[in-house]
Amino acid sequence: MIVFGSEVCRDFGQAVTREWLETNGLGGYASSTIIGANTRRYHGLLVAALAPPGRRTLLLSKLEETLAVRAVEYDLSCNQYPGAIHPQGYQYLREFRLDPFPMFLYEVGDGRLTRLEKTVAMCRERNAVIVRYRLLEGVGTASLIVRPLVNCRDHHHLMRENPYFDTSAEVSGARDRVSMKPYPWAPALHIHLHGAYFEPWGYWYHNFEYAEEAARGLGFHEDQYSPGFFTCEFDQGETHYLVASTERMEDVEPATMLQEERERRVSLAGGRRARDSRAALCTGSGRCSGRDSARNSGRSSGRRSGRSSGGSGSELGRLVSAADAFLVARGGESREAAGQGIVAGYPWFEEWGRDAMISLPGLTLVTGRYEVARDVLRTFAEHCREGMIPNRISEAAAEPDYNTVDATLWMFWAAHKYLDYTGDREFVVGELAPILVESVEWHVRGTRYGIKVEGDGLLRAGEAGTQLTWRDAKVGDWVVTPRQGKPVEINALWHHALSFLEELGGEHAGPSAADVAREFEARFWNESAGYLNDVVDGEGGVDSSLRPNQIFAVGLPYPIVAAERERRVVAVVKDKLLTPYGLRTLSPDDPRYIGRYEGDQRSRDGAYHQGTVWPWLLGPFITAYVRVSEDRQRARAEGRGWVEGFREHLREAGLGQISEVFDGDPPHRPKGCIAQAWSVAEILRAAAEDLGMLGEDRLRELS
């Protein structure tokens, strides 16, 4: 449970920096601040995924609520307008809880107080949201007036009053239901407040102001339409449910649906699936990773170290639950019928191949969702073209984008992890291996964007004006961190791909892993600096910038440089790049370093990979740090401290989630998306595999 009392809830400045997120397993979501003041264009009570997990469309922005007690009205909602905050309902908010749903406790009146509890929950695999109102304490009968604010737009855009918006509303049932269809292309929005009476009285609200959009240098004013208002009466202890959805849900009992979803989430946070996952590993159903078999020096794969206990159960339980938000149905109304995908981040990211493959172990394998992992791998394998899986499966484009060099290589790693956890050789060898072999052969003879193996066995990638690695920031024609040539992590991943295929027994036309390792160490090791170069054979020759990409040469399963050099790499990354929330993307000693991720899009993209901290990089760093340490017990204790350092972050920005990025400079403020898949995934994976924080003893505590 995450709880904030009145000292935070009634402080506007503190309250609007804390955001909650509800998801529905289809890519749809609800999100706002803990006081209900929308500060982003992405905030809303019903953002429906009309083509799961894409076409996310804001249908219901919010509810304006007024509680009437003894003829005195108290406005509970909160909005920011130019120069004003109105109403200021946060002054009545006594408490906010995330348990597991967002819950708001309002307290009004003099003398004997009236307390109203409000709960918001998305419906599982339906584009619907439930809002429960319960009068916990009161004097006589209280009235609640609820005015819905309707929108109908892509969640990336903004709306202004316009003549094309159909303001007509259909009232039905016992006048407790209202339906609207603002545009011909949109689904109808149905709103039902049980036991209420709807009064048509429509008008536009103008100039809502979104502070977070203003800070990002984007448009930040919007208009919303309200078709009228509901009124319902409460006696003490009475409950009313509001359901807003894209389908008529007369057959749904909201109390039952809410209880079932609560039980499902409590089960996830309690570690049931994760416990089953770890138990399977501890009984030996998994397989030893290539690093153990290759070096046999007592350096564990991480999976073998997972039996020790320690760490913070509540935080990891929260992250196990948080992982669920990113797993979505694709192209249909159920996961079973449509296949499954991974959304890269909320509120604005779509499906990205790179993010999906990096996130897959932490989101699905550590948490025991093996069938989801298999389905995601199968889906991306089916999209493989010319040896590449998509970089992005867009909401707007008819065809996926293939402009990435590393997404496909990360699929080899995800497949390797899947086999480690499940022992499912039938799927990996029978279905995936032929595609992986074909992919290697495409890379050898050359595929899109200049991706091709050269005579030294290393992989070159890139053409002028393209960004193919994870450091892909580009503004117009400005490529912020050009990496044409042979990037370090790409060739570490290339070596892993070849090693994994060799271990599977798959024959291919590529170079041997041993030859690649030998050439890699000779070309990338920078003896004078004591670390690995970032790019070799680039447009400017060698790029020796001190960056985190080299950590994958140590964190991936198969050794690629000498053990002594691995230790030097880890030491310099720890000294210059490690922060409490992940790794910086550039050393602060570099004159190009930018310590703040802020401003308009050009400023933010210019800082994105020039010092900004990425939490997901802490995962591979922990893996590498534990592996090279001579004192494993001490190293794991340090690693647990780094993971537990996120405890306070789970109470700021996206509650219960980990943000996309942080400032490079202290105090390392969270930035970007409030919930990022690979941030959550890699912290979970490292905690489980390398630190034993989801070992048997810990999972017993979580349960």
Q: Which residues of 60-98 are buried (b: 16+ CB within 10 A; e: fewer)?
A: bbbbbbbbbbeeeebbbbbbbeeeebebbbbbbbbbbbb
Please state the rounded mean pLDDT for residues 78-94: 97
pLDDT reading at 334 higher than 60: no
For 2-249, the fitting CATH number among 1.10.287, 3.50.50, 2.70.98, 3.30.530 is 2.70.98
Residues whose CB is less than 8 angstroms from the CB of residue 498 and which lie 6 or more positions away in sequence, other chains included: 440, 508, 510, 511, 512, 513, 516
Residue 398 pLDDT: 66
What number of CA atoms fall less than 13 Å from residue 463's CA on the CB side?
A: 9
pLDDT reading at 507 higher than 90: no
Instruction: Find the DSSP H helices in 361-406.
Output: 370-382
CA dist., res. 114 & res. 110, Å (int): 9
CA dist., res. 360 & res. 369, Å (int): 10
pLDDT reading at 460 higher than 80: yes
Lowest-confidence pick of 41-50, 388-397, 480-489, 632-641: 388-397
How many other CB atoms sit within 10 Å of the CB of residue 512?
Answer: 12
Closest of 63, 40, 456 to residue 227, by C-alpha: 63
Q: How confident is the model at residue 695 (pLDDT cuts 50, 70, 90)?
A: low
Residue 539 pLDDT: 85
Write the pLDDT tens digit of every residue in 95-105: 999 999 999 99
User: 29 and 348 in contact (C-beta within 8 Å)?
Assistant: no
pLDDT reading at 297 higher than 80: no
**Tokens representing residue 65 in the block:** 């609520």
Q: How confident is the model at residue 25 (pLDDT cuts 50, 70, 90)?
A: very high
Percentage of residues in the chain with pLDDT exceeding 70? 90
Please state the rounded mean pLDDT for residues 130-147: 93
Kindly list the strands in the beta sheet with 486-487, ordered across the sheet, starting from the edge strand earlier in the chain: 486-487, 535-538, 541-543
Residue 92 pLDDT: 97
Lowest-confidence pick of 230-239, 469-478, 515-524, 600-609: 469-478
SS3 22: strand
Q: What is the four-CA torsion angle of 456, 461, 463, 468, rounded to 10 degrees?
A: -170
pTM of the model: 0.92
Residue with tokens 């052969």: 441
Please state the rounded mean pLDDT for residues 359-383: 95
CA dist., res. 106 & res. 138, Å (int): 12
Residue 301 pLDDT: 38
Lowest-confidence pick of 108-112, 502-506, 614-618: 108-112
Q: Which CATH class is domain 264-702?
A: mainly alpha
pLDDT reading at 45 higher than 70: yes
Considering only residues 661 and 317, tell me which one the structure prediction assigns the higher pLDDT: 661
Residues whose CB is less than 8 angstroms from the CB of residue 476 and which lie 6 or more positions away in sequence, other chains included: none
pLDDT reading at 115 higher than 50: yes
The count of residues in the chain is 703
Residue 184 pLDDT: 96
Average pLDDT over the chain, rounded to an integer? 90
Continuous segment of H or E residues that includes residue 189? strand 189-193
User: 394 and 54 in contact (C-beta within 8 Å)?
Assistant: yes
Write the pLDDT tens digit of every residue in 508-539: 888 999 999 999 999 999 999 999 999 999 98
Q: How confident is the model at residue 605 (pLDDT cuts 50, 70, 90)?
A: very high
Lowest-confidence pick of 291-295, 370-374, 590-594: 291-295
Question: Diameter of the chain by CA atoms?
Answer: 84
Domain layout of the chain by residue ranges: 2-249, 264-702
Which stretches does DSSP call E strand in 139-188? 142-154, 170-172, 177-180
pLDDT reading at 541 higher than 80: yes
pLDDT reading at 281 higher than 70: no
Residue 467 pLDDT: 85
Pairing of strands 653-654, 18-23: parallel
Considering only residues 173 and 571, tell me which one the structure prediction assigns the higher pLDDT: 571
Please state the rounded mean pLDDT for residues 413-420: 98
How many other CB atoms sit within 10 Å of the CB of residue 573?
Answer: 27
pLDDT reading at 571 higher than 70: yes
Residue 270 pLDDT: 62
Considering only residues 269 and 52, tell me which one the structure prediction assigns the higher pLDDT: 52
Q: Dihedral of CA 604/608/610/613: which sign?
A: positive
pLDDT reading at 271 higher than 60: no
Please state the rounded mean pLDDT for residues 548-575: 97
